[in-house]
Amino acid sequence: MIIEMKIPSPGESIKDVEISSWLVKEGDYVEKDQPIVEIDSDKATLELTAEKNGIIKLKAKAGDTLQIGDIICMIDTSKERTKKSVIPQQHENISASKILYEKNLITNGSGLERRITNDPSSISRTSNRERLSKLRRKLSERLVSARNKTAMLTTFNELDMSSINEIRAKYKEAFQKRHGINLGIISFFTKACVQALKMYPDVNSIIDVEEKICYHFYDISIAVSSPKGLMVPVVRNADILSFIEIEKELKRLAFLARNGKITVDEITGGTFTISNGGLFGSMFSTPIINHPQSAILGLHNIVNRPVVLDRKITIRPIMYLALSYDHRIIDGRESVGFLVAVKEALENPLEILMNGEKVSDVLEL
**Where in the chain is CATH 2.40.50.100?**
2-76
CATH number, domain 135-362, options 3.30.559.10, 3.20.20.370, 3.40.50.1860, 3.40.50.300: 3.30.559.10
- Given this model, what pLDDT does residue 45 score? 76
From 28, 64, 300, 331, active-site residue: 331
Buried b / exposed e along 101-116 (16+ C-beta atoms within 10 A): eeeeeeeeeeeeeeee
- Given this model, what pLDDT does residue 83 score? 58
User: Which CATH class, in words, describes the domain spanning 2-76?
Assistant: mainly beta
Q: What does the angle CA 109 – CA 112 – CA 115 come to, to the nearest 5 degrees?
A: 110
Q: Has 327 been annotated as catalytic? A: yes
- Given this model, what pLDDT does residue 119 score? 59
SS (H, E, C) 208-239: ECCEEEECCCCCEEECEEECCEEECCEECCHH
Give the type of residue at 352. I
In the chain, DSSP finds a helix count (H) and a strand count (E) of 8, 21
Give the type of residue at 67. Q
Beta partners for 57? Answer: 74
User: How far apart (Å, rounded) are the C-alpha atoms in residues 234 and 218?
Assistant: 10
- Given this model, what pLDDT does residue 137 score? 79
Pairing assessment for the beta strands 312-326 and 295-299 based on DSSP bridges: antiparallel
In order along its 365 residues, the chain shows pLDDT tens digits of: 888 999 988 776 678 888 888 999 999 999 999 999 988 877 777 888 999 999 999 999 988 889 989 999 999 998 777 655 333 444 444 444 444 445 554 444 444 444 444 556 667 788 888 877 777 777 788 788 888 888 999 999 999 999 999 999 999 999 999 999 999 999 999 999 999 999 999 999 999 988 999 999 999 999 988 777 778 999 999 999 999 999 999 999 988 888 878 887 888 889 999 999 998 899 999 999 999 999 999 999 999 999 999 999 999 999 999 999 999 999 999 999 999 999 999 999 999 999 999 999 999 98
From 16, 326, 327, 361, active-site residue: 327
Burial grade of 92 (CB within 10 A; 0-12, 13-18, 19 or more): exposed
Cα torsion at 65, 67, 71, 73 (round to 10°)? 30
User: How far apart (Å, rounded) are the C-alpha atoms in residues 168 and 183?
Assistant: 7
| 3-state secondary structure at position 135 | helix
- Given this model, what pLDDT does residue 82 score? 66
Q: Has 331 been annotated as catalytic? A: yes
- Given this model, what pLDDT does residue 192 score? 97
Residue whose C-alpha is closest to residue 241's, from 304, 284, 198, 194: 194
